[in-house]
Amino acid sequence: MENPCIFDVGEDSFDERVLEASRRVPVLVDFWAEWCGPCRALTPLLDDIVAHYRGDVLLAKVDTERERRLALDHGIRSLPTVMLYKDARVVDHFMGLQPESVIREMLDRHVARESDRARTRAAELARGGDIAAALELLEEARRNDPENHRVVPDLAALLLENGDIDEAERVIAALPLDKREEEEVVALCARMEFARLALEAPPAGELRQALDGGDANPELRYMLAMRHASEGNYEDALANLLTVLERDRRFRDGAARRAMVDIFGILGSTHALVEEYRPRMARAMF
């Protein structure tokens, strides 16, 4: 049975079936030729992938032997070349025969999914204070679309915000290893570690009182830093961690330095606090 989401296009139909259609859903354009072996291998793979998205992405095929002007206009120099159109412009592309995982990863960056719409709605609910409804929506999105790994950090972050560290850790642990190494997830894991350490710490008031009273125990200052970090008060956390580092670089086998690096990862390299404290940390270390 012919799939209406997969079709041939030429110069006379490209504007309507690709450019205009891409304002509604992303359109994948496959520039191919009959004599091209990798093109023939790629064709069934693209067909299967696009069928999986059930109308959320279209596949337009351009036979470059018949549509030479169209290929020339698009600067096609090697085959196969595949371009992804969205809002009437090219937003991504690849050349040559690629594995299914690479193609799906590219599409997932641009194709709207019902689970992504659920993520947006959950964020709105959470901002409005309805954490329970937001969690329920994200759990349902994860069940219905387990391949959308973008749902998991959202769910884990909300669980962490709700104080359920154990469940947040379990959710992240279920991610594939390569997804756990992504910057957003690494930063979230650091936040979970801060929250875990803060649970072991005395109340912040007691810690500040002891330190103001002249107690120089680095453990107290480190615990206060964990309290601050778990609350998102990274400026005070960094200030206390730097003090620990300056007084004892080997404290807890370098725990203060590691915590500072984790905070840098959460904030991002261009954040003002990172630009201030990274050189100060280096001076304390060396």
Give per-residue pLDDT as tens, 74-110: 999 999 999 999 999 999 999 999 999 999 989 988 8
Structure-token match 């778990």, residue found: 230
pLDDT tens per residue across span 212-266? 888 788 999 999 999 999 999 999 999 999 999 999 999 999 999 999 999 999 9
| Annotation marks residue 5 as catalytic | no
Domain limits, CATH 1.25.40.10, in the chain: 114-181, 199-285
Q: How confident is the model at residue 23 (pLDDT cuts 50, 70, 90)?
A: very high
CA neighbor of 259 nearest in space, from 197, 183, 174: 197
Q: How confident is the model at residue 53 (pLDDT cuts 50, 70, 90)?
A: confident
pLDDT tens per residue across span 112-167? 788 988 999 999 999 999 999 999 999 999 999 998 888 999 999 999 999 999 99
- The arithmetic mean of pLDDT across residues 41-66, rounded, is 94
CATH H superfamily, domain 6-108:
Glutaredoxin (3.40.30.10)
pLDDT of residue 1: 54
Domain limits, CATH 3.40.30.10, in the chain: 6-108
- The reply to whether CATH 1.25.40.10 applies to domain 199-285 is yes
Q: Residue 192 in contact with residue 160, Cβ under 8 Å?
A: yes
| Annotation marks residue 36 as catalytic | yes
Domain at 114-181: CATH architecture: Alpha Horseshoe (1.25)
Q: Which of 18, 28, 29, 36 is catalytic?
A: 36
Backbone angles phi, psi at 186, to 5 degrees: -60, -45
Q: Which of 21, 27, 39, 106 is catalytic?
A: 39
